[in-house]
Every structure is written in structure tokens, then in C-alpha cells.
Amino acid sequence: MASLMEFDKALRRLGPSSAYATTAYAATAAAEGEESVRNAFQVVDEPTRAAAFLPRGAGPGAGLIILDLPQRTIRASGNLPIPASGEILAHDGKALTDRAITYILPQEWSIQTL
């Protein structure tokens, strides 16, 4: 839930521009051949929805994750294992930071493969 709260905080503070900046960074990095770029962004409108379905390379980090908050469900591409607990690195809207966020998924949430 902490990582979801980070998305919500950024969206409230920066508006959709934070999602646009992340999708633009991912597109630029992919065009420059950076295969190890991992970006997460919140789908907030049609442009970010379209960006979510663009291929981001064939590396192990390429895939799609859908967070269905009302249903408490996470759906992920088959190549993206989603553990029920772990750590992620925070993104400041421009780049990954070295700040780790620990999360534990509540038991009422389910994880499904797309």
C-alpha cells in the first residue's frame, strides 16, 4: 500500500504531469536503447493508458501491471512476478532514486496473471 500511496501523493502534488514525465522518460530511454530502464507510472487518462500498452523492450522488466483498487486486485503480465511483500525503488518524476520503499500486500488483495 505504501507504493500506491506514493503514486497518489505524486499525482495530487504534481498532477498528471508526473505520469507524463515518466512516460516521456521511458520513451526516450527506449529510443536510446536503454533496456534496463524500469519505470512505473499511474494511468490517469487516455495518453497514459496508451503509453501503458506500448512495448518497452524484451527485457525481464517489460510488462504491464494493472492495479484495480476497488477490487483489490493486481493483474500482471506473466513475465512479471509480483511478490506479496518486498521493496521497490522510488521514482522522483525524473529518475529512480536510491530510496527503497518496503511494502506488504494485505491478505484481502489478490495477484493474478494477465
Q: How far apart are CA 82 and CA 75, in angstroms?
A: 9
Which sequence spans correspond to the domains of the chain? 2-113
Mean per-residue pLDDT for 7-19?
Answer: 71
Which residue has better confidence, 87 or 95? 87
User: What is the tens place of the pLDDT at every residue in 30-82?
Assistant: 667 665 455 666 677 888 777 777 665 544 445 677 888 889 998 887 777 88
Which residue has better confidence, 13 or 73? 73
List the one residue out of 3, 10, 8 whose CA is nearest residue 85.
3
pLDDT for residue 110? 92
Place of cell 496473471: 113
Long-range contacts of 11-17 (CB under 8 A, 24+ apart): 11/42, 11/44, 14/93, 16/44, 16/45, 16/48
